[in-house]
Chains A and B, each alone.
Chain A
Amino acid sequence: MNDQTMTPEQRAANLKGMGSSRKRVEDVRFTQGKGNYVDDINLDGMLFGDFVRSPYAHARVTGIDAEEALKVPGVLAVITAKDLEPLGLHWMPTLAGDKQMVLADGKVLFQGQEVAFVVATDRYAAADGVEAVEVDYEELPVVVDPFKALEPDAPVLREDIRDRAEGAHGPVRHNNHIFTWEQGDKAATEAVLAEADIVAEEMVYYHRTHPCPLETCGCVASMDKVTGKLTLWGTFQAPHAVRTVASLISGIAEHNIRVISPDIGGGFGNKVGVYPGYVCSIVASIVTGKPVKWVEDRMENLMATAFARDYWMQGKIAATKDGKITGLWCHTTADHGGFDACADPTKFPAGFMNICTGSYDIPVAYLAVDGVYTNKAPGGVAYRCSFRVTEAAYFIERMIEVLAIKLGMDAAELRRINFIKADQFPYQSALGWEYDSGDYHTAWDKALKAVDYDGLRAEQVQRLEDFRAGKTRKLMGIGLTHFTEIVGAGPVKNCDILGLGMFDSCEIRIHPTGSAIARLGTISQGQGHATTFAQIIASEIGLPADDITLEEGDTDTAPYGLGTYGSRSTPVAGAATAMAARKIRAKAQMIAAYLLEVHDDDVEFDVDRFAVKGAPERFKTMKEIAFAAYNQAIPGIEPGLEAVSYYDPPNMTYPFGAYICVVDIDVDTGETEIRSFYALDDCGTRINPMIIEGQVHGGLTEALAIAMGQEIAYDEMGNVKTGTLMDFFLPTSWETPHYTTDHTTTPSPHHPIGAKGVGESPNVGGVPCFSNAVHDAFRPFGLTQSHMPHDHWRVWKTANRLGLHN
């Protein structure tokens, strides 16, 4: 068929634009083992770095003896804090306004902390060198409990900043106190609580866990002494920010640093931060004049880079007798570990925890968060999460359940009567956000109907009866969650990281033959950007997605952007892509009008062409227009066809969803079987349904892991108890259930294509859904709250405590 005979729908389908489940272009490489991950990079003469790490959680380092290590064949250097000090690199700034030791400077504050960096000819020699370094430690009292850390006689962890009155986020009241962050109206909230019909109160703990992407963190630093240029390949979710930070702390001019994020084997927030391995590799390359590779192993990854969560959330929720919520109060104690290295926008030391009013119309609320130092690893990253949204969603979705118990109400109904209504959007929340759009009632009703909610409750009643009659030892739980996310950070006016505004960017160049290349400031870690961003461009300018190459992650070629995390790629870079494409389309319109010899306003865009209004047979395809842009002198129009957009979003986007799961719990063994899981997501305009579903499956599986067993646990001495994948729970295909996905579509009114982002929704909504299901099973026996993870023994303990083993 040619252009004349195809319908507009057929022409649109050929573009594989937005809405198409286009197969991923990345996969031809990945399925045959031709990815290019950081450990695949091998340069001539490349050396390998490896860390000596602290076995203690809190100790003074009284001596480091590298003499034996330097005798190990292949070992070239052992770098310590003393070597970095003259360069000013023994400490580095964190994303949260604190500073962190690159290598132990007199003491260590967590198990696994970097003490010395051994550089050798290969990874085997480096490991031998690490083994041979002798470090003398003098143990100090260990603090692993954030509440004990704030007691008057608690040991001072950060002696470098002892007795300060002011931290990066305001006054501090204890040596181990990092900040207090307050939002909302304290007095009004307390007044509501004092007079409410009903107040439900609970401590909700979201335990410490870890993003644990399958590929660990690593880099290759290569200083070219001839050109003076440093090239740094690494697992960076924000390559441009890494370059700027590297320039600021090393003193190397930014144009002399090239940061490249190659293929990344999953990130989930683990690869946002800057780690000592990067700094040491750069130094080692400068010192040796050779490329230096550092790749952490799994134990190092779990012990030292980027934990997530660890929020103790004390909540009070007030309501009328008939269940209308009147106020919400929350005090959070946030365990930040030995350094405050949380990855949050600068003005938000507790991230977007103030989204904790969730999907509900709550007139007043108050939130206070206290950040605390302990002898644990630093991090506090957004693990498949937009800056503490997971904690906030877990908190409110647990508090709703606790309130339902107190009211003796069905938790689905309690949610329904408190949802923000469709006609209230844009909605101003009590804690300061403006929700862009939503239709929660429609989504909720669709979800309840899809799972036959009433039928499930009837079955549950029967099961309970059977259980009490001794006919079964399995309880049935129904988990409900309606979450509202806040993603797409964010407006430059209030969101920055290290002073860099959180805009993002896209640059598109159309080639003369009508194919194109687009470059973005983000970086895919599996999200399929090369596939989906091409679809946005395809729909916006009418060229087939298959003819559009996507590039990201090379700071020498890509436009500046803040990277990929917090579900911000589609909301921010996706918008930049649409805006850049529209600039091209505007120019194409002028070219088309010139070629068709009509006025600019007399042509209109029609899928893949501009046609004369009222005469659709007179048109120029985008391919023809592209060629014309390069081969014709058009009066008043520059040659070429390219555009760049730096997009500063006017607001965040607020994806939401309704999740329902059913579990069967063996009260005798504590085993929980996930019988079904239904996930309805509303992420606004859907760019690639296949990829959205894949994101939901993956996020739900991460949620399953977190809710049911995954944790970074410490003993009282600060030893990590979950340092390998034997104990750090990642479910296999055997433990993972089949998911049912569904959607509604409520576009974002302020986003150029109405998209909101989806990658993190299933983690945000999945964790409370699984957890609520476990709680729900025990509700008839008086359970209101039991902390995650709901692994076998903790579930068993709950059953035992409730007398179900008697």
Chain B
Amino acid sequence: MTKMHVKMTVNGEAAEGLAEPRTLLIHFLRETLKIKGPHIGCETTHCGACTVDLNGKSVKSCTVFVGQANGAEITTVEGLVNADGSLGVIQEMFREHHGLQCGFCTPGMITRAHRLLQENPMPTEEEVRFGMAGNLCRCTGYQNIVKAIMAAAETLNAQKEAAE
């Protein structure tokens, strides 16, 4: 099968590569671009471990062909660290509130939480639980993930207020 030339912006940097059209975005990111934060958990769009931010939407990259993402702007968990390399607020809050154990779902969780808080900066616990329901975790029982996201919302809002 002929390969196609794919270009995208990933975590703010231009990225390109050759790929068969059937290549799934998750494999292109992980194997061609060596961006290994997003993981493969279920392959049927249920677990969300492969979640990336694609043109401002939380998307399960195991169910996107690379061609569909051609020209897209993509953010993965790696792109959510601060410019100085320190952990971003959501990442820090996951650490602070023990929102992860084995770490396998964590990149997808954090990437999804990032978009959720962009769209709803002050969510209720119920809204967090509903908004995170596309990401499965087998270790934490979600309680501390919800807590971490609520705390991140608070911190982000305080930062925003301080800046204004």
Contacts and interface: CB of A to CB of B under 8 A. Distances in A.
Tell me if chains A and B make direct contact, with any CB pair below 8 A: yes
Interface of A: 23-24, 26-35, 37, 39-40, 42, 123-124, 212-216, 263-266, 268, 295, 297-299, 525-528, 690-691, 693-702, 724-726, 730, 732-734, 736, 738-739
A37 B43 contact: no
Interface in B28-60: 30-31, 34-44, 46-47, 49
Given A265-B39, A730-B136, A214 B104 contact: yes
B98 A739 contact: no
Given A27-B94, A30-B100, A214 B37 contact: no
B104 A215 contact: yes
Given A27-B94, A265-B102, A214 B41 contact: yes
A419 B41 CA distance: 43
A733 B40 contact: no
A213 B143 contact: no
A699 B77 CA distance: 26
A699 B143 CA distance: 12
Given A31-B87, A725-B46, 11 more contacts: A24-B98, A124-B20, A266-B102, A297-B43, A690-B98, A724-B44, A724-B46, A730-B136, A730-B138, A732-B136, A734-B130
A298 B42 contact: yes
B80 interface: yes
Interface string B100-126: 111111110010000000000000000
A695 B98 CA distance: 10
B139 interface: yes
Q: For the complex of A and B, list the 10 residue pairs with the smallest distance between their C-beta atoms, beginning with the closest.
A: A33-B37, A526-B102, A265-B104, A30-B103, A697-B141, A526-B101, A701-B141, A725-B46, A31-B91, A33-B77
Contacts of B47: 214, 725, 730
B78 A32 contact: yes
B137 interface: yes
Given A27-B103, A28-B95, A42-B31, A298 B44 contact: yes
Interface in B7-45: 20, 22-23, 27, 30-31, 34-44
B31 to A, nearest CB: 7
A700 B78 CA distance: 31
Contacts of B143: 697, 736, 738-739
Interface string B59-80: 0000000000000000011101
Contacts of A23: 95-96, 98
Contacts of B140: 694, 697-698, 701
B107 to A, nearest CB: 4
Contacts of A266: 101-102, 104, 138-139
Dominant secondary structure of chain B at its interface with chain A: loop
A726 B44 contact: yes
A706 B104 CA distance: 21
Contacts of B141: 696-701, 736, 739
A691 B44 CA distance: 31
Contacts of A690: 98
Contacts of A123: 27
A503 B94 CA distance: 35
A701 B78 CA distance: 28
B87 A33 contact: no
Given A32-B87, A700-B141, A733-B128, A726 B100 contact: no
B91 A32 contact: yes
19 contacts: A23-B98, A29-B103, A30-B100, A31-B91, A31-B95, A31-B100, A32-B78, A33-B76, A33-B77, A33-B78, A123-B27, A216-B41, A697-B144, A724-B44, A725-B46, A733-B142, A733-B146, A736-B142, A739-B143
Nearest to B37: A33
A42 to B, nearest CB: 7
B150 interface: no
A643 B102 CA distance: 29
Contacts of A24: 95, 98, 100
Contacts of A40: 30, 36
B147 to A, nearest CB: 10
B156 interface: no
A298 B41 contact: yes
B104 A39 contact: no
A295 to B, nearest CB: 8
A26 B106 CA distance: 12
Contact of B46 (A34, A265, A268, A726): A726
A216 B22 CA distance: 23
A295 B140 CA distance: 24
A741 to B, nearest CB: 9
Given A298-B44, A725-B136, A732-B133, A32 B77 contact: yes
